[in-house]
């Protein structure tokens, strides 16, 4: 019975390809370098999730540089940019809540 590849992609989702016969990875992920790159990207995405605004800006610069130098694939860059977008949404919500709190405390009803 065929099994799915065991690799967790940079996006955090499991690979949807079938594993090679007698192995736990598909043809693409049998290459340890590709699995290592997925792991690096997942770790980078996890770091982005806890960064402040300057950390997110730094992450954007890093991804732009890696894309220019072709050190990262577009798929991995897209996963990181999605994480950056999510983090910026969180930070803007946090900043908006702080601003509202400051306005409310300065002007109590
Ligand atoms: Zn795979």
Question: Would you list the DSSP string of 37-96?
Answer: HHHHHHHHHHHHTT--HHHHHHHHHHHHHHHHTT-S-HHHHHHHHHHHHHHHHHHHHHHH
The pLDDT value given to residue 108: 62
**96 domain residue, yes or no:** yes
The pLDDT value given to residue 74: 94
**52 domain residue, yes or no:** yes
Count Cα atoms within 13 angstroms, Cβ side, for 37.
16
Domain of residue 41 covers 32-103
What is the Å distance from ligand 1's center to 104 Cα?
52
pLDDT digits (tens, 9 = 90+) for 19-54: 999 999 999 999 999 999 999 999 999 999 999 999
**14 domain residue, yes or no:** no
**83 domain residue, yes or no:** yes
Number of structural domains (the chain) is 1
**2 domain residue, yes or no:** no
Instruction: Identify the DSSP state of 8.
Output: B
**40 domain residue, yes or no:** yes
The pLDDT value given to residue 109: 55
What is the Å distance from ligand 1's center to 31 Cα?
10
**26 domain residue, yes or no:** no
**88 domain residue, yes or no:** yes
The pLDDT value given to residue 65: 97
């Amino acid at each position: 019975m065929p099994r799915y590849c065991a690799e967790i992609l940079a996006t955090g989702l499991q690979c949807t390809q079938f594993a090679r016969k007698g192995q736990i990875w598909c043809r693409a992920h049998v290459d340890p370098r590709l699995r290592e790159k997925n792991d690096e990207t997942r770790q980078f995405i996890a770091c982005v999730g806890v960064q402040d605004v300057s950390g997110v800006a730094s992450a954007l610069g890093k991804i732009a540089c890696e894309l220019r130098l072709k050190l990262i694939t577009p798929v991995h860059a897209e996963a990181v940019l999605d994480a950056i977008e999510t983090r910026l949404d969180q930070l803007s919500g946090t900043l908006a809540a702080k601003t509202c709190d400051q306005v409310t405390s300065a002007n109590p009803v």
